[in-house]
Amino acid sequence: MRSSTVRPNHSFRSQRLHIITLAALGVVFGDIGTSPLYALKECFSPEHGIPFSAAGVLGIISMLFWAITIVVSLKYIMFVMRADNNGEGGVLALMALSLRTAVAGSRWAKLLMMLGVFGACMFYGDVVITPAISVLSAVEGLTIAAPSFTQWVVPVTIVILVALFLLQRHGTTVVGKLFGPVMFLWFFALAVLGVMNIVKAPEILAAINPYYAVNFMLQHSWQAFIVLGSVVLVLTGAEALYADMGHFGIRPIRYAWLYTVMPSLLINYFGQGANLLVHPAAVENPFFLMMPEWMLVPMVLLATLATVIASQAVISGAFSLTSQAILLGFVPRMKILHTSEDERGQIYIPVINWMLLVLVLAVVLAFKKSDALAAAYGVAVTTTMVITTVLAGVVMRRDWKWSRPIVVLVISSFFIVDFAFFAANLLKIADGGWFPLLLGGFAFFLLMTWYSGRMLLRTRTKDDGIPLVPFVEGLLAHPPHRVGGTAVFMSGNIDTVPVALLHNLKHNRILHERVFFLKISIWDVPYISDEKRLTLTELGGNLYVLRAVFGFKEAPDVNRVMALMSERFGQEFDLMDTSFFLARDSVVPSKLMGMSLWREQLFAWMYQNGAKPSDFFRIPPNRVVELGTKVEI
């Protein structure tokens, strides 16, 4: 769900594959690619109570190796990425796929929807923590060369983060072109550092044998369970492989992972482990203490660039996810700015940007060190991983028609691993894990309040509505005065009369020469072809019902609809001769059956503070007529 500088394209020519793969490196793998900065360091945290030994190093490196292999390579690369919604991935796309086989309105459908929404909400916890822990970890590297720099770690981190969020409104098109090459250099440096240390202690390669992981867990059962909560840090960003599938396609992401990212990460982790076997004191900071002193400052600078790229990726992902949630009806309309004329995925949402900045800075000031923040990191990631596994199982059984035994075997295997990580991270709740849970839970509450309120509002409007066809027949039998020009009445229901038309007839007592009742719908597919976008029904008397359909990754645009009308149906539009009528509802909370009164009041507040429909649908502001009405829910 993260935005990129590459158009969705799934028919890759061989000569372009390497270019798109390089671009994917800069957008998809920033989060998981910067985990070597802090993952192994946190695994050997003194708080875990594991005595340092060669067997312990081999055991933990083996756990890291098999976690990456099972969760990322097998689960996401081989299985989950096959579940695409017209080429799109991510937890919301997976939710849409699972809902297609469920009976609308059933408890099962509601459960699947809530799981998908909660998984999306937990992503916001990841968005807040990733910039904080990544940039902190990189800047902390300077304290190895200059211990007196310690007091400047937090201020420098804050300056970098503020600059990053201030740049968001300018878009990432220019900077984005550098993301791929910088990340390729980063992964190359990771591999080189790993090899430099592995040759000093090649016995670390024995950790590929799962015996060392199993033996470590048997010898230190409780401590090993606690360490699982830190091992999961090597998996942060794994969900991005699936979420960004729509921007790059399956092949470039798989190629980038299998031939660049995975080898570089594993070589570096094995190199860190080899260095620990030779220099146990390096456990204080395994990454920065594995390199010669002359490399320290250049690597800190490169690490800072890599962490900024990782942060940029999740911030852009938050914009993309919010945009999709708005179109799917889970978030109020917000002002969305398109920062590129060529790439529709390049968007900027001011409200989300400033909220994230405040939260990220608060996290940095509250936790101050990457060690302290690591405790909060895994909860959000593992929650989304478990939800993805459950939804993928539904798709495998009901959409792909796999046999029940195969689905049970595959999903139970992944679920056991995911749940083990999730359970281990629950131990971190008191140490900071409560933060992403609180943030995700609060976002989930707001999203479900908005969704439920919209359903109530739609039901009330429909129940009180007047059937359109009989009304038009009566209107044409006794027509009011007709005036020149075109009137477009925005409608939420094509079967009932728009409230704006009733008000217009009541107060102005006129009907335009040509009238369109326009209903804009958002379907649970990412994109709609222009051939399928419009449906036009003539009611007689130059009155028409026009339905326009957009995908959940598209921006609804009335100008685009009007242009297509001229092209497909020969209905020419002169914007200076067209008026758009909208009903601006005022929601009135009441004691009618529905939600609790205080939630209705919250929904009413959210509704009144949402972006104007004219802005959201890109209607020329000087052609809009808004007519108010009150609706009780």
Judge if 118 and 256 occupy the same domain.
yes
Query: CB of 573 within 8 A of CB of 543?
Result: no
Domain count, the chain: 2
How far is 486 from 466, CA to CA, in rounded Å? 23
How far is 284 from 282, CA to CA, in rounded Å? 5
Q: Is residue 452 part of a domain?
A: no
Contacts 24+ apart (CB under 8 A), 477-481: 479/511, 479/541, 480/505, 480/509, 480/510, 480/511, 481/509, 481/510, 481/511
Judge if 352 and 208 occupy the same domain.
yes
Can you give the pLDDT at residue 176?
60
Can you give the pLDDT at residue 23?
79
Judge if 425 and 512 occupy the same domain.
no
Please name which of 415, 419, 393, 418 lies closest in space to residue 406, comparing C-alpha atoms.
Answer: 393
Q: Is pTM, for the whole model, over 0.85? A: no
Q: Which residue has the tokens 């799962």?
A: 210
How far is 86 from 320, CA to CA, in rounded Å? 17
Enumerate residues 6+ apart whose C-beta is below 8 A from 560.
none
**Tokens coding 378:** 């895994």
For the purposes of burial, counting CB atoms within 10 Å of the CB of 221, is it exposed (0-12), middle (13-18) or buried (19 or more)? exposed
Judge if 475 and 424 occupy the same domain.
no
Backbone φ and ψ of 511, nearest 5°: -140, 130
- First-to-last alpha carbon distance for the chain, in angstroms, is 33
Q: Is residue 404 part of a domain?
A: yes
Q: Is residue 200 part of a domain?
A: yes
Please name which of 271, 309, 301, 310 lies closest in space to residue 287, comparing C-alpha atoms.
Answer: 271
Given a cut of 50, the residues of the chain with pLDDT beneath it are: 1-12
Last residue in a domain, options 414, 432, 450 = 432
Judge if 544 and 615 occupy the same domain.
yes
Q: Reading across the β-sheet that carries 481-490, which strands appear in turn?
A: 534-540, 543-551, 510-523, 481-490, 578-588, 624-632
In three-state secondary structure terms, 525 is coil
Judge if 151 and 188 occupy the same domain.
yes
How far is 266 from 36, CA to CA, in rounded Å? 9
Judge if 334 and 427 occupy the same domain.
yes
How far is 504 from 43, CA to CA, in rounded Å? 68
Query: CB of 272 within 8 A of CB of 57?
Result: no
Identify any residues that bridge with 521 across adjacent strands, giving them in sequence order: 549
Contacts 24+ apart (CB under 8 A), 332-338: 332/450, 332/606, 332/607, 332/609, 332/610, 332/611, 333/610, 333/611, 333/612, 333/613, 333/615, 333/616, 334/610, 334/611, 335/611, 335/615, 336/555, 336/616, 337/169, 338/555
Q: Is residue 74 part of a domain?
A: yes
Q: Which residue has the tokens 């009041």?
A: 601
Please name which of 243, 194, 598 lies closest in space to residue 387, comparing C-alpha atoms.
Answer: 243
**What CATH number is attached to the domain comprising 317?**
1.20.1740.10
Cα atoms in the Cβ-side hemisphere of radius 13 Å centred on 140: 22
CA angle 480, 481, 487 (to 5 degrees): 90
How far is 575 from 625, CA to CA, in rounded Å? 14
| Whole-Å CA distances, 23 to 73, 99, 114, 180 | 20, 32, 33, 5
Judge if 181 and 273 occupy the same domain.
yes
Please name which of 119, 130, 126, 128 lies closest in space to residue 447, comparing C-alpha atoms.
Answer: 119
Q: Is residue 505 part of a domain?
A: yes
Full DSSP string of 487-519: EEEE-S-TTB--HHHHHHHHHT-EEEEEEEEEE
Backbone φ and ψ of 114, nearest 5°: -65, -35
How far is 15 from 5, CA to CA, in rounded Å? 18
Please name which of 333, 370, 254, 409 lies closest in space to residue 607, comparing C-alpha atoms.
Answer: 333
Q: Is residue 563 part of a domain?
A: yes
- Give CA 487 to chain center in angstroms: 38
Judge if 327 and 252 occupy the same domain.
yes
Can you give the pLDDT at residue 292?
92
Q: Is residue 3 part of a domain?
A: no
Judge if 411 and 479 occupy the same domain.
no
In three-state secondary structure terms, 481 is strand
Query: CB of 427 within 8 A of CB of 226?
Result: yes
Last residue in a domain, options 412, 432, 452 = 432
Residues found in the chain: 633
Enumerate residues 6+ apart whose C-beta is below 8 A from 478.
none
Please name which of 165, 138, 164, 140 lies closest in space to residue 152, comparing C-alpha atoms.
Answer: 140
Judge if 466 and 410 occupy the same domain.
no
Q: Which structural domain range is residue 466 located in?
A: 460-632
Query: CB of 556 within 8 A of CB of 327?
Result: yes
Q: Is residue 218 part of a domain?
A: yes
**How many CB atoms lie under 10 A from the CB of residue 438?**
12
Query: CB of 485 within 8 A of CB of 578?
Result: yes
Please name which of 176, 174, 165 lies closest in space to residue 350, comparing C-alpha atoms.
Answer: 165
Tens digits of residue pLDDT in 420-452:
999 999 988 888 888 888 999 999 999 999 999
Can you give the pLDDT at residue 234?
93
Judge if 593 and 469 occupy the same domain.
yes
